[in-house]
Amino acid sequence: MNIIDIINQKRLKQELSKEQIEYVVKEYTNGTIKDYQMSALLMAICLNGMNDEEVFALTNAMYCSGETLDLTSIDGIKVDKHSTGGVGDKTTLILAPLVASLGVNVAKMSGRGLGHTGGTIDKLESIPGFSTIMSLEDFTQQVNQIHLALVGQMGNLVPADKKIYALRDVTGTVESIPLIASSIMSKKLASSAECMVIDLKVGEGALIKTKEDARSLAHFMIKIGNQYNRKVVCALTNMQEPLGTHIGNALEVQESIEFLKGNCQKDLYELVLTLGSIMVHMALSISEEEARKKLEENIHNQKGYEKWKEFISMQGGDLEQLTLAPKVFSVKSTKTGYIQKIHTMKLGEIIRAIGAGRYQKEDSIDYGVGMILTKKVGDFVMENEEILKIYLNQKDMTIGSILECFEIGTHYVEPEPLIYEIIR
């Protein structure tokens, strides 16, 4: 086979065979196919899509590109949760310890930031000393001991996705539904969780912009799960504005701590309880209503927070050393009125530009930079009243570019629902 022929075939909107897809994944993983060639194919896929059979073949080829986790030594059902990414999405940081505090096994691998969206691993690595690398033996032992371990992609697990994921981040191909579906599901299959809850972000601040595309992605992932006898539930959730108030790696850790202490933002609270109820229902075979009550109890009695501290300590993190960027500026409104819209992707790109994300695979993260929103959609703001604080380190930026992210008008706008749809 010839990679040039395969690129041209997909450029001409033709279907790729299972054998062609397996060839590409294998030869790119071992280095025979170069980054620039794979970038061309990824762009062709991004522009022209893939059908069900191509997506199944791509997922399976990536899944089979390395090892799979043997989690049979973990007692009980393992549940996993994944988010397709957004701005201010620190849900996993809260949800994993909260669900684990009910005795549910959360054996989770997470990823780094992708495009303008943040990554759970980057957020955890903002905690000094925290290790996202662990041997399989230590990983399973920790889950058996405290019901929770959270790491980056482990060992030789799905090496094809690890390479492709990093390349997508810097080649403008992050928003392709077939590539998202195969990336998520190859990792989830290899990590061996029996039950998966996938948070499909929809809207301006998400990789998926429309509910129609989100439903398409959900059905891809549920079909893939069915092929491998895995239970998959997808929640379509709103990313028209940032989730919660804190955006940026260390800042999102800070907000997660406050949440688990009981100081919860309304939107974040609803999302955590909705996703968590499904996870606990799947693992413990209780109703989602009963699961929700148990989760609420463990927020109020701070058992979720105790589990968080135990988890961070077990993986070497020192929360006392969490550091924010030293330069803090208040950004104030230039007019009076209601916040009618937040251009969330633009805000995410600003966060990326000040150092919280990457433009090249080799870029390092500035963990302490970010923003805290003091106003969200539907809020009334006076002229010269603060709408956010921005935390900067080395890089500066103009206030005007931040203000352009907020549309302020004379009439009240009702925020959209946070949970659009649950697809089972």
Catalytic residue selected from 82, 112, 281, 294: 82
Q: Single out the residue of 110, 97, 104 nearest to residue 74, CA to CA.
A: 104
Residue 183 among the catalytic residues? yes
Structure tokens of 338?
């209601």
Catalytic residue selected from 80, 89, 122, 161: 161
Q: What dihedral do alpha carbons 43, 46, 50, 52 form, nearest 10°?
A: 130
Residue 161 among the catalytic residues? yes
Catalytic residue selected from 81, 123, 162, 187: 187
Catalytic residue selected from 101, 110, 183, 277: 183
Residue 82 among the catalytic residues? yes
d(C-alpha 234, C-alpha 181), whole Å: 12
Residue 26 among the catalytic residues? no
Per the listing, tokens 């028209």 go with 240
Catalytic residue selected from 78, 168, 281, 303: 168
Residue 112 among the catalytic residues? no
Angle subtended at Cα 31 by Cα 30 and Cα 34, rounded to the nearest 5 degrees: 145
- Residues with catalytic roles: 82, 161, 168, 183, 187
